[in-house]
Structure 1
Amino acid sequence: MKTSHSTTLAILVIFTLVTFFANTGALPTDIMEERNVVTAREMVSDGNWLVPTMNGQLRLEKPPLPTWVAGAIEAVCPNNLGAQRLAAGAMGCLWTWFLFLTARYIARRTDYAIIATVVFLTCYNTVLMGRSATWDIYCHALMMGAIYLLLRALNEERDYRWQLPLAGLFLGLSWLSKGPVSFYTLLLPFLLSIVTLPSITTRGKWPYLGIMLGVAVVVGGWWYAFLLIAHGDAVTAVMAKETGAWTNHNVRPWWYYWRFFLEMGAWALPALASLALTYWKHHITIKRTYLITICWTVGSLVLLSLMPEKKMRYLLPSLAPCALLVACILTHLKDTLASGKADRFVRTLFVAQSVLLILVMLGSAVALFGLHAASVISVPMRLIAAALLSFAACDTMRAVASRQPMVQVRAVAIVFATAELLLLPAITKAVGNPDSHSIALAVGTPQTQELPLFHDQRTPIRIELVYNAQRKIQPIDLNDVKEVRAHMPFALVITASAKAPIPTTLLAEADTCPLGYFDNNLHRHSNRHYTDDLRGRVLLIKGKQANNPSSQANIKQTR
């Protein structure tokens, strides 16, 4: 029995909510989240909403919109990472919604838009970034809204009077979220992909295009203008630093993104097959949509490849056009297999994709009963997850037998929903650090909550420790007796990586008392990412008192 579009759309909405909101607190924090939340905390505690700081230092590298959102959430729900991630999830939903609308408008087919949306929601980086309280998801979600409105306005002779100014608002908000990133990686290749379409017209629309640009400049640029006036030297220094980072940091060869299709995860094979332009342009059933999306995808990849600095996570914006491109292939499979018009290449592609998915699904179900799985997930949960994964594998087999690619799409959605609803906490527990001991336990006791936190200025402090301590850890010159006296009593954070010894001048002036130890590594000790920068001890530094135990003895115990 066929499912109506309305029912399918309702299920798609539920799947979207599961993708971004189920078990939002399960994943460990990453450094980008911690930077954003630390900046948001200081916005609230210090009231510096226009001039952000991070651990007391100016933080002008990132535009402020996502941090303003994080600050507003911090003011209402202090120290609540789950609440912070809800905002990112909302942006993920917004991006998904505008992607669906864009897909449906380009192809004029709801089934194509549904497939594109499911493909997008079953990409690992989409799920990850929609659950991280960072900047990336904001700029791309808002840019997708601008692209949809701009596409409508350039193709139609009505409604452009409000669509173009609204597109300008989205453009400005995207710039205020992460500067030109989404303009370069998402908007520019899109414009290049549609510029030759005969339906595109700007006749009579130039005044409103001017309004769009004006709104975008005002909304996206006012904060930068304010900073140039108030902190011109700092802005210049940041611009020089960021420019240097893009040209000297993580520099990779131009072909670094050759394996971009692997970022599509379950859809890697059709993503790779979609590049067979000479074949598809003569056979695909939605040729116009295919040509737009392949130009958009390849354009985004080429522009990203031209930048010296490269990281695989920078491919995030490319997932949107690539999902549209993969949906073209899957829609073609759906049309031709159902009608019996599929040629050998299409049939082989469909069977190969199905076999790969079946192997992964069954392998994952079996892995749930491995020895290590027993320590991180309960037996009932393993049984339910394994049953769902096995059902998805059987569904995929049925898709092959009945030649129904849509059943295959549904099976992949079931796998991801199972992971998000049942397995995320177990995955996090499996890779986490069993010896973790947060610095918050040492500095959050009643006797230390009011103490200022410092670290030796000779050893930089990691932002992860600032995040977990839930307050600033500022540098102090331990050789400056006058400065030390001025701040006593205080808590001194000493990491295991610190190579400089405690100055004898400090030991002569102050008593020290261990307050606790910490290990904020998210990974196990055997992992290559484990670092001494995130473990150590906290000392109480106070004025020297008579008849106290030797300070040096206490110091030796803390090293």
Structure 2
Amino acid sequence: MSTAMETGPRPLAGTGRSAALATAAAAAGVVFAGLAVLGIAVRPLLPVDETRYVAVAWEMWRDGHILVPHFNGAVYTHKPPLLFWLIDLAWSVAGVSEIAARLVGPAFGVLSVLLTGALARILWPEIPGAARRAPWILATLGVFLVFASLTMFDAMLTAATLLAMIGLARQRRTPDRLGWLGVGAALALGAFAKGPVILLHVMPVALLAPLWRDTASRPAAGTWYRGVGLAFLFGLGLVSVWLVPAAVWGGPEYRDAILWHQSADRMVSSFAHREPAWFFVALLPAFLWPWGWRPAVLRALGSRALLRDEAVRFCLVWAGAALLAFSLISGKQIHYLLPELPALALLLARAWPGTADTSAAEPKRWRLLPLVPALLIVAGAAAVLLGLVPHAREEGLTVDAASVALALGLLAALAAAVLAMPSRFAAWALIAPGTLLIFYAVAATPLRTVYDSALLAEAAAPYASGGLAYTGGDYHGEFTFSGRLASPVAELRIPGEIAAWAATHPGGAVIGRAERMSPGWPAVREINFRGRLYRVWPVPDAARPPQKGSAPQ
């Protein structure tokens, strides 16, 4: 083993070393949690994903549909119920609130940071430096810092993937039945979190074990693959406890969607987020930011000597197989590969050059390279302030001079701190959190004034008892939770539907995008939401059906 890969003090012995490494992981988890809570305080629930998922949890809470999720009064087939169950559980403890709902996703981000530290200790028990670095790298990877803080499914899926990988790493020497049952339980957790996609994250590592295991220590192929089969069947059995009654209760349409179309259709011919095969490869610099932007780290990752490490091959198969599989799938979004970021963090932690490999000749100016995104944020904000961004003001994306000045000051302070840090590792750990603070400095006001669904909910509140309808596109639950709506929102797509709905909903209102469709009567409110003009049209008296005994209008 090369000493170039190791940094820090001499390894502690036994329990003391384990406690020190666990403490380092816990500290990284606390930092991630603090940044996630700051994000909750600064920004609203983001449409359309966060608002929709909390709306599903609200309808489950409101109507008692525990077994099968519902959205806007209909069965919701797009995702399994775990996130919604956990939000409802949080509400049962803390009361119904936006904050309680929004803490669920980041809690799994914290868990993922802790599990990454645990996996590093299993993979490299003889390299405590890697175990110290890995959770810090994951907690301050830009993509993880952003998406694991959101109310989405991917942080839960990441934690489930890590649990499965911990199980596989423990099984690589002396497999046992209890360990395989643990892997199966992790597969079930991932299926409850986001469906069968957990198999794409975990099974390549299990099935391609000959590519990463050392020949001398590997168990017999038959023993290994029987264990993989046991894990799969046990996970399937756990999922069936919910899936079978849910499929029966939800009916044929729900059964067909949850068992097949929501997974297979997304892979072969995605109905949303279609991107070219090179999409994720093009995003590799974003996934690597900021830790992989250090040239010495990239050189170390390209070292052939690193491939002799069984644990490195384990992480490469984990990340590489998922990258290939998701590149071939039709639908793509950057957060789909969130469960592979722990593998990337582990590789970066293992390859991080130590003192012996880092000469004084490495110029400090390389530390400024990962600050380019922060510089672009400040430059973009200044361009908006100076009116150089077309249509920004019309879309509500405005910033004031004080915010730009604050962001510029934060950028200067971050650059100075990064250059002054005696430890390169500590310097890199500042970059993503500092950049996030700079973003919040310029984006906090636009986020609250343009993306807050509470603005729509407030405008709709006086008419909720009479019924609400949405026109001009699909309704994604933008104001269901923020308005605590007691009934579904009707979706009206053609003028005839608007007239018919208005005739039966006196006291109600139609809400929608002004440029797409209008009911034909005056609006009482105009709201800039998501950079588009929304209007509220109360149902006029003339649209109401005549009352018995009254003259026709």
Distance 1:496 1:213 in 2: 51
Count of aligned pairs = 502
**Worse-superposed segment, 72-81 or 25-34:** 72-81
> What pairs up with 1:20-35 in 2 under 5 angstroms?
20-28=36-44, 29-35=46-52
1:95 to 109, 112, 123: 112
**Contact between 1:186 and 1:317, CA under 8 Å: does it hold in 2?**
no
1:264 aligns to 2:288 (yes or no):
yes
- Is 2:173–2:219's contact at 8 Å kept on the other side of the alignment? yes
Match of 2:536, SS? strand
Q: Identify if the C-alpha distance between structure 1 residues 497 and 124 changes in structure 2 by more than 3 Å, giving closer, same or farther.
A: same
Counting only pairs closer than 5 Å after superposition, residues 102-501 of structure 1 correspond to structure 2 as 102-108=119-125, 109-156=127-174, 160-189=176-205, 191-192=207-208, 196-198=213-215, 199-201=217-219, 212-230=231-249, 231-237=251-257, 239-240=260-261, 243-249=264-270, 250-262=273-285, 263-269=287-293, 274=298, 280-282=303-305, 284=306, 287-330=309-352, 333-334=353-354, 336-337=356-357, 353-354=366-367, 356-357=369-370, 372=385, 375=401, 377=403, 386-395=412-421, 398=422, 407-419=423-435, 422-423=437-438, 425-429=440-444, 431-432=446-447, 434=449, 438-445=455-462, 448-455=463-470, 460-471=474-485, 472-475=488-491, 479=496, 484-499=502-517, 501=519
Equivalent position of 2:394 in the other structure: none
1:520 counterpart (529, 539, 545): 529
SS of the residue aligned with 1:257? helix
* Larger deviation, residues 47-56 vs 384-393: 384-393
The Cα offsets for residues 133-161 of structure 1, whole Å up to 9 and x where unpaired, read as 1111111211211210232133246xx45
Q: Amino acid of the residue matched to residue 490 of structure 2? A: Q
User: Contact 1:245–1:309 at 8 Å: present in 2 too?
Assistant: yes
**1:434 shift after superposition:** 4.7
**How far apart, CA to CA, are the structure 2 residues paired with 1:8 and 1:245?**
39
SS at match of 1:60: coil
Q: SS in structure 2 opposite 1:517?
A: strand
CA gap of 1:212–1:299, structure 2 versus 1, over 3 A, is closer
> RCO greater where, 1 or 2, for CA within 8 Å and sep 6 or more?
2
Q: Is the 8 A contact 1:116 1:326 kept in 2?
A: yes
Check whether the contact 2:280–2:323 (CA below 8 A) recurs between aligned residues: yes
Structure-1 separation of matches of 2:519 and 2:241: 47
Distance 2:257 2:370 in 1: 50
Task: Give distance in 2, aligned partners of 1:8 and 1:114.
Answer: 6
Matched position secondary structure for 2:214: coil
CA distance in 2, matches of 1:85, 1:179: 21
Aligned to 1:17: 33
Question: Partner letter of residue 98 of structure 2?
Answer: L
The answer as to whether partners of 2:266 and 2:330 remain within 8 angstroms in 1 is: no
Q: How much does 1:275 deviate?
A: 8.3
In structure 1, the gaps of 5 or more residues are 399-406, 503-511, 522-529, 547-551, 553-559
In structure 1, the residue matched to 2:390 is none
Percent identity over paired residues: 18
Residue 55, structure 1, aligned to residue 72, structure 2: yes
Q: Distance in 1 between matches of 2:158 and 2:63?
A: 30
Deviations 1:425-480 (A, max 9, x none): 424326537567811222224xx353321235x85434324454442312368747
How far off its partner does 1:90 sit? 1.1
Q: Is the 8 A contact 2:514 2:535 kept in 1?
A: yes
C-alpha distance in 2, partners of 1:363/1:500? Answer: 39
Measured against aligned partners, the alpha-carbon deviations of 1:486-523 in whole angstroms (never above 9, x if no partner) come to 44332332431343654xxxxxxxxx8855333322xx
Q: Quickly say closer, same or farther: Cα 1:441–1:501, change in 2 above 3 A.
A: closer
Shift in Å at residue 176 of structure 1? 1.0
Q: Partner of 2:208: helix, strand, or coil?
A: helix
Secondary structure of the equivalent of 1:439?
helix
Aligned equivalent of 1:536: 535
Q: Relative to structure 1, is the Cα distance of residues 149 and 186 closer, same or farther in structure 2, using a 3 angstrom cutoff?
A: closer
Could you state the TM-score of these two structures normalised by the residue count of structure 2?
0.77
Q: Which residue of 2 aligns with 1:68?
A: 85
Distance 1:433 1:43, change over 3 A: closer
Tell me the amino acid that sits aligned with residue 393 of structure 1.
L
SS at match of 2:465: coil
CA RMSD of aligned residues (A): 4.1
Q: Distance in 1 between matches of 2:218 and 2:228?
A: 14
Task: Judge conservation of contact 1:147–1:187 (CA < 8 Å) in 2.
Answer: no
Match of residue 102 from structure 2: 85
Look up the equivalent residue of 1:66 and give its one-letter code.
L
